[in-house]
Chain A
Amino acid sequence: MKSISIKNNQQIPFDSIPVLEYEQFLDYNTSLLHIKDNHCVNYYGIPQKGKIKLICCVANDKEGLIKISSAEVSPQTTLESFSQHHLAFEKFEREIYENFGIHFINHPWLKPVRYPVNQSDKNNTISNYPFFKIESEELHEVGVGPIHAGIIEPGHFRFICNGEQILHLEIQLGYQHRGIENLFLQKKKLIELHTLAENISGDAVVGHTTAFVNLWETLCNQETDADLNFARTLASEIERVAIHTGDLSGICTDIGFQLGSAVFGRLRTPIINFFQQWCGNRLAKSLIRAGKTNFPFTAELGETLKTVLDNFEPDFNEMCLVTFGTPTVLARFEKTGMVSNEIGKSIGLVGMAARMTNINRDIRASHSYNNYATLAHQPILKHHGDVYSRAQIRREEVKQSLAYIRQLIASIPSENLNRKSLPKPSPNVFALSLVEGWRGEICHCAITNDTGDLQHYKIKDPSFHNWLALALAVRNNEISDFPISNKSFDMSYSGHDL
């Protein structure tokens, strides 16, 4: 057996993961990715007794299973790369290279990812990133960031332009690196781990915290109570509505469409204010806890939410009709920042960014968790892979989420008053949790030691896969279309840099 198949949120003994020879490991995983329904959800290394254990997790979306395999290699060694066979591994291999000094042969661009504190080459600093260069008198470079003109997170964009046209964009990240994965091991109290999970990416609080608590309950071998499953599903869909609406506002801002910018912007307010009414925080920090809740969802809250949605929906629909019916808006949306289906598949896009180019990838449908099995989710797919598709997908996903929310609050489960307290996590186990945040697939993996404490914690934000898509999307676009392309992807910097 070359791998062990597990379901989303299932724990297995860590030593039950087959250990392959590296050549076999490479053959096995790269050939898995040539099958249409498979994609890599995580590939990373952990230091173990002077060796590096590489763990590769490939999900099959049809069977709803994740195939876990591993290999043991030495640090600072040289290996054939996965990326030469399938580009979707490129970022994962760069991360392994950066953390452990493993050189991958035939990797297209073996460059640092985020300049972490525990990087293998301590002399590397973020100021000496090796950018691609073109020697030409006709071309010029444009550098943007790390600090951007708006109120957003930092990252550096280096364009190589021919006049106004972008030939190449290279995105350098790492400015946000806070060492969060190490803090998961350093901090011992459960409340500290919750706080860390809530701070991974501030616009996907529900997504990341749900991934963490589902994983933690799996490690503890405790089934999730019905009311907790309900609350997490509900919160996840509210978050999707809120951020998608805010993003539509941002997209309108970036093309100078003032009405859409103002109206979508203000429409987000009652949705995030509802989070405040529920848990006291507009972005749902403090709402989700493993094995308990401090803020049970009451029938009264259900009524309030229903009123909020009843007011929101007609305004949202009206604004969408005008936005998507205005020729000057459409002229900026259509055929801007395109990613083809082939490119999307080859770089392993996930989430909304995959679905905009007709890749049917949605964890809610393929690896369901919490209450998604009962919602029978059907992913919304678009075909053009441009700004228009990304805006449309938001419009339709908002509509879909509103229907889910209404369906959910029609039968609110009563609060479990005899909640069992959480036991300690099982010793020496591996578990993986997948969640479809509004941006896409969030993956948290954990390994426990002999005493049931965390030995390793790995976080993967959907942006980790998707940043490359932005760099490819803007090629041959006017540089003035960059902001709208960027906003329509709306990737996370902190979720990437960790």
Chain B
Amino acid sequence: MAAYIFKRALIAVLTLLLIVLILFVLMAFLPGSPFNDERLTVEQIATLRAKYGLDQPLLAQFWSFVKNTFSGDFGVSYAIQKNVPISSLLSGRLPVSMRIGGQAILLGSLLGLVLGVIAALKHNTVWDTFCTVLSVVGVSIPSYVFALGLSYLFGFKLKWFPILYQSALPFHSSVLATVALSLFTMASIARFTRTELLEVLSSDYILFAQSRGIDGFRLIARHALRNALIPVITVLAPLVVGLMTGSLVVERIFSVPGVGQLLVEGIQANDYSVVTALSFVYSLIYIAIMLGVDILYGVIDPRIRLAKGEVQP
């Protein structure tokens, strides 16, 4: 087990280092320099370069880049908010994004679970078809299309919720964004729960439990669902990706002051330092979750760690 965890962790660290390397190479070889003011003399530029360590060999520069990045020092923003450290930009925005993402996961998983269980229990009925159609639609419709529809219908026409996020009303104004983000989670979880539960329900031990007189809620919750939900961690990876990409557009649509919006602004304003910093943050979160999933998987399913960590798709 220790060897398995060590191996997964090593791959995660390698991946993270590769990302930092890519980001560094991009920053180093992008055209232009911070000191392209024509009034500066050659000597002044040389002094400035020495001051900021740009005269060092590339390897030393890379090392300091790695050190700074991992200690949370991402430099300052060029364009969005000039000379504001990116870490302070992030510290205000990360909690908002995390909260909305968390709400979306919670809502989506709950709804998805309920839908999936209904579909499996009422297999091959109208309910099943309804749930299946809903989950196919949920997986196929881009979250921003859904977000736009919600914003138009409930925000603009019915005026139930504010169209734009307001910091004064953190929950009420984030309802639409949460629902929009949760669609994908809901659909994937519903689909998955249905499949797994159908398989479990036809197994021998459920028949045995039934023959002992266990039925209804107790059978589903205590016996069937417990085993059906073990493999649910496999959908975590696509869910995280869905939430990340979703957050970019949903935050733009509802103008939520979160990390996704910052990245979109950074991309549109060509603010390279913001984009690289956020790329790192996103990758860090993603890789950490992937590592967690791999380890959890190894803990739960011994076949995987015995297969030396080769996770089959």
Report if A and B associate in a common complex.
Answer: no
